[in-house]
Structure 1
Amino acid sequence: MAPHSKDGHDMHAAAATNIQPAGFPIKYTKLFIDGEFVDAISGKTFQSLNPSTGELLASVAEADVADVDKAVKAARKAFEEGPWPRLSGYERGRILHKFADLLEQNEDELAHLETLDNGKPLFNSKYMDVVTGVKCIRMIAGWADKVTGQTFKLDGPYQGISVYEPYGVIGAIIPWNFPIIMFIVKTASSLAAGNSIVVKPAEQTPLTALYMAALAKQAGVPNGALNVVPGFGPIAGASIASHMDIDKVGFIGSTQVGRLIMEAAAKSNLKPVSLELGGKSPLVICEDADLDTAVEIANGSLFFNMGQCCTAGGRTFVQESIYEAFVNKAIEKAKKIVIGDPFKAGVEHGPQVDEKQFKKTLDYIESGKAEGARLLTGGHSVGKQGYFIEPTIFSDVKDDMKIATDEIFGPVMSILKFKTLDELIKRANDSKYGLVASILTKDIDVAHKFARSLRVGTVWINCYHVYDQSVPFGGYKMSGFGRENGLASLLSHMQLKSIIYPLKDSPWH
């Protein structure tokens, strides 16, 4: 179905032929297996749509069980017989640095493709997604030759050593909100460690993953070491999670699907999993915070990437003495956000990624109104085509309202009132999620008490959405487990082996 505007008019249906955007034609739409672009065995394709218009961008080869199996066999052969795991860490790092060089050389085309497929403003696609992705590759590439084990003097005439080794074949299932970054986060660490990998990009945003696969081959990643199988979660994703010849699986996405990934992994070969899942993160604004700065941070925490961010500040807690003043300034700020064509300069807010996310977000807005929250601004779709939703703010939100408990993944700010820090800490922790949290205050004692009390993987003090490739990232509770970024990410793609051998005076020598 095509999307609907708030006045009920149907959007136009997807075009019958692929759109070739000016300047950058879509080059890669087939599966990437064993170093080659190939059709799905079944011959099936699915549509990748432009969320700004609802029109067809490309028909993409649709992987199913047979295609995943083919990719896994190629990855297994590359690991068991190919050169990649036998290269020195230095050589693998050198190839990954070349991959980063190629991303930089093609950053304009990658950013253009990302905005077409995902809908985020072009500035964000280039200067956040591509640039951050390049930094991530370079960080991991630099670690590739620096992973070492330990030596142990045992109790008796024996010596012990520990060594890190790659798992073998990694399966990765990545989301649609940051397709370039998520692809790189999973592939760079896996490849740097010496693994082979099979990646399933989200069906909403498969195009940049396929483009980057071509660049990886050009950089020197051997055939079979990297495979990309676009398709749908219940078939291609489930096949990766349950495949008996995949040694570990990593998933970034919703908590609901993460649970299914764990179940499938456990029921197959008991493969380990790493999960980076949902969040409903608290942003706490204390009465001593600078109000204008607080509004700026709150705006970015929630409306960045059209709210489609697992770390979005989904619960904005404001101390009661400044509550009304904050609300008034937040409304003013939200109304100034520029919505529109993500390719136009100055546009800050593009469409939701697809019709499903568009409707889901509008449903949450309706639930907020039905449960008694005050809709202060926004709350409607924008235009007569595409999946645009106004930045939306609710006040008088209660802790048990759906807009305060559920991960919306859309531009809906929920503002809650609090009195004391102790009360706030209990309420902030009262969530099934535990991904990130932030506090804005001039009192360092308050900041540190909050930081040590919150059961989350990352706490920001007087800032938000600050990431670095060297800092481990991941969640507590139902936000998942495992860590991305830096050495922690690299080691999560390796196994630790102990080796013990006798010394000269041992009876076994």
Structure 2
Amino acid sequence: MPDTYESWLRRAKELRLPDSHHINGMDVSGHGDGYVVMSPRDGQALARVADAGQAEVDLAVAAARRAFDHGPWPELAPAERGRVLLRLADLLEEHRAALALTISLEMGKPISDAYGIELRAAISTFRWYGQLADKLGDESPHTASDALALVTREPAGVVGAVVPWNFPLTLASWKLAPALAAGCTVVWKPSEMSPLSALTLGRLATEAGLPPGVLNVISADGPAAGRALGLHPGVDVLAFTGSTAVGRHFLRYAADSNLKRVWLELGGKSPNIILPDAPDLDRAAATAAWGIFFNQGEMCTAPSRLLVHRSVADQVVDAVAERAHTLRVGDPLDPATEMGPLVGTGHLERVLEHIADGVADGAHLRTGGERVLRDSGGSFLQPTVFERVPVESRLAREEIFGPVLSVFVFDELEEAVTLANDTEYGLAAGLWTSDLSTAHQVSRRLRAGTVWVNCYEEGDLTVPFGGMKQSGNGRDKSAHAIEKYTELKTTWIQL
């Protein structure tokens, strides 16, 4: 990894960015003049890229359909599919610096995180599923002696993958890698805010040996292309990560078209409970601050509700507020930057509206809440901490998707569990305690797809990830993700 600010600035000037869709293994221009991708670091245009309409969606789905129905990919030995995914992982490693730089430029992630966390996760995901591809066995249940029963997993067909901008390659890889390993073909629509890294990966996938039509990448400005994918009768499975509101649209699109399966990883308002017997209160506070400010708070799992016992509340909140003061906000291309800009001025304005509403609702603004570095032209915001937040306020109940923490103080454990579950979301939760029984009992009671105990955002590809309630359905990561992209078939043979 280049280690100086100057080297990243120089690379940024030399970087060549893609400008067209990647369909059927080829670069394809879109209709009209395309649209401009803006960089949140300075508000300047990065590139003009192709804009997909219905015609381009139809073209991409048709390519994926041919590749599934008549191409070699679904029929390849799983080990061979795995080898292609491993070659793609190697190519991502080879182009790691350029991809990290592209992500920093298009969505504002600090370059150290883009290189060290985002690309590491994406590379690991393709490598993990490449190694898993030939290790998924079928079943032969025991039946009567005059019959043979077979239960086989078959690829589900054409997958439409719609992913957000906050982790543009990590979240995409969680869908693409298991779908491809299973033998599916894919049409991938990245966010209009972050198409450049996706279009680059599409080209690398073809270079790695994916046959034409197996992975198609289309860029589009606005919701029309996503709607076209959701309604398309040629799409068998739709995998989406994003807001709960948009997830509802995809369920409607499935109902109004071919009843395609829809897998949703949606929003969150995750609680992080710190009990007085936490094994290390300083680490608990530092992790609480890291969790809400990492990636500018633009994370569905961000621990945006800090629930802390009254006996240690002052110590913990003081430490979090101090970290907010010292966190280095700056140019994402500077390796020393700890928090970059929000993804764009529109998103910045929405987060500022939430902050203003919080003040109006009577919450106490402990620190932050102001736009900074205005002269840069970028969409930078101070890390923000609120105390005494009314439980029915927008701050307490709505996903803000920014570096904004709401603090709640409790006296009894039962109060904390009730407050933690008092949300329409159920994606993740944190718990800090030294008591083993408390850890097990509270983890079982928290309605969340992932519960971290004495840590936050930890894990690896062996464990599934996904939500409960209005945080979605299905699971990414682990061998369980294969279930989303396969169909079970029973074959009964009378002997």
TM-score, length-scaled by structure 1: 0.93
Give the corresponding residue for 1:257.
Answer: 246
Give the corresponding residue for 2:490.
Answer: 498
Indicate conservation of the 8 Å contact 1:24/1:112, yes or no.
no
Give the corresponding residue for 1:507.
Answer: none
Query: Letter of the aligned partner of 1:367 in structure 2?
Result: D
Give the corresponding residue for 2:141.
Answer: 152
SS in 1 for 2:328: coil
List alignment gaps of at least 5 residues for structure 1. 1-18, 504-509
Alignment pair present for 1:379 and 2:369? yes
Q: In the TM superposition, what whole-angstrom CA distance separates every residue of 1:57-116 from its partner, at most 9, and x where no partner exists?
A: 000100011100000000011111111111100000001000000000110111111100
Give the corresponding residue for 1:222.
Answer: 211
Q: In the TM superposition, what whole-angstrom CA distance separates every residue of 1:401-458 from its partner, at most 9, and x where no partner exists?
A: 1111000000101000111111111111111000000111111111111101011100
Q: In the TM superposition, what whole-angstrom CA distance separates every residue of 1:438-497 from its partner, at most 9, and x where no partner exists?
A: 111111111111101011100000000113111100000000000001211122211110
Give the corresponding residue for 1:467.
Answer: 459
Give the corresponding residue for 2:447.
Answer: 455
Matches within 5 A, 1:90-129: 90-129=79-118
**Which of 394, 397, 405 pairs up with 2:386?**
394
* Cα distance, 1:364 vs structure 2: 0.6
Alignment pair present for 1:70 and 2:59? yes
Indicate conservation of the 8 Å contact 1:170/1:247, yes or no.
yes
* Cα distance, 1:180 vs structure 2: 1.2
Matches within 5 A, 1:154-169: 154-155=143-144, 157-169=146-158
Alignment pair present for 1:337 and 2:327? yes
Distance change in 2, residues 1:194/1:372 (3 Å): same
Q: In the TM superposition, what whole-angstrom CA distance separates every residue of 1:325-357 from its partner, at most 9, and x where no partner exists?
A: 222222111101001111112110100001221
- Distance of 1:48 and 1:346 partners within structure 2: 25
Query: Letter of the aligned partner of 2:334 in structure 1?
Result: K
Give the corresponding residue for 1:211.
Answer: 200
**Which of 382, 397, 403 pairs up with 2:395?**
403
Indicate conservation of the 8 Å contact 1:24/1:109, yes or no.
no
Alignment pair present for 1:485 and 2:477? yes
SS in 2 for 1:211: helix
SS in 1 for 2:32: coil
Query: Letter of the aligned partner of 1:138 in structure 2?
Result: R
- Distance of 2:468 and 2:189 partners within structure 1: 25
- Distance of 1:367 and 1:21 partners within structure 2: 41
* Cα distance, 1:398 vs structure 2: 2.3
Alignment pair present for 1:310 and 2:308? no
- Distance of 1:363 and 1:313 partners within structure 2: 20
Give the corresponding residue for 1:506.
Answer: none
- Distance of 2:443 and 2:185 partners within structure 1: 38
Query: Letter of the aligned partner of 1:182 in structure 2?
Result: L
Indicate conservation of the 8 Å contact 2:17/2:47, yes or no.
no
Give the corresponding residue for 1:132.
Answer: 121
SS in 2 for 1:342: coil
**Which of 360, 366, 372 pairs up with 2:356?**
366
Indicate conservation of the 8 Å contact 1:280/1:406, yes or no.
yes
SS in 2 for 1:61: strand
* Cα RMSD, aligned residues only: 1.3
Alignment pair present for 1:432 and 2:447? no
Alignment pair present for 1:83 and 2:75? no
Indicate conservation of the 8 Å contact 1:20/1:57, yes or no.
no
Indicate conservation of the 8 Å contact 2:12/2:101, yes or no.
no
Give the corresponding residue for 2:3.
Answer: none
Give the corresponding residue for 1:292.
Answer: 282
- Distance of 1:22 and 1:456 partners within structure 2: 40
May I ask how many residue pairs the two structures share in their alignment?
484
Identical pairs, percent: 41
**Which of 11, 17, 34 pairs up with 2:24?**
34
Q: In the TM superposition, what whole-angstrom CA distance separates every residue of 1:141-176 from its partner, at most 9, and x where no partner exists?
A: 111111111112334722110100001100010000
Alignment pair present for 1:189 and 2:196? no
Indicate conservation of the 8 Å contact 1:374/1:394, yes or no.
yes
* Cα distance, 1:22 vs structure 2: 3.8
Query: Letter of the aligned partner of 1:54 in structure 2?
Result: G
SS in 2 for 1:163: strand
SS in 1 for 2:223: helix
SS in 1 for 2:87: helix
Alignment pair present for 1:282 and 2:274? no
- Distance of 2:86 and 2:366 partners within structure 1: 48
Alignment pair present for 1:323 and 2:310? no
**Which of 131, 137, 140 pairs up with 1:142?**
131
Q: In the TM superposition, what whole-angstrom CA distance separates every residue of 1:267-291 from its partner, at most 9, and x where no partner exists?
A: 1000011000000000001112232
- Distance of 1:27 and 1:260 partners within structure 2: 32
* Cα distance, 1:233 vs structure 2: 4.5
Indicate conservation of the 8 Å contact 2:149/2:492, yes or no.
yes
- Distance of 1:486 and 1:123 partners within structure 2: 26
SS in 2 for 1:344: coil
Query: Letter of the aligned partner of 1:89 in structure 2?
Result: P
List alignment gaps of at least 5 residues for structure 2. 1-8
- Distance of 2:261 and 2:295 partners within structure 1: 31
* Cα distance, 1:215 vs structure 2: 0.6
Distance change in 2, residues 1:431/1:152 (3 Å): same
* Cα distance, 1:23 vs structure 2: 5.2
- Distance of 1:20 and 1:108 partners within structure 2: 12
Query: Letter of the aligned partner of 1:499 in structure 2?
Result: T
- Distance of 1:166 and 1:23 partners within structure 2: 43
Indicate conservation of the 8 Å contact 2:286/2:319, yes or no.
no
Query: Letter of the aligned partner of 1:308 in structure 2?
Result: E
- Distance of 1:63 and 1:26 partners within structure 2: 21
Which deviates the most, 147-156 or 431-440? 147-156
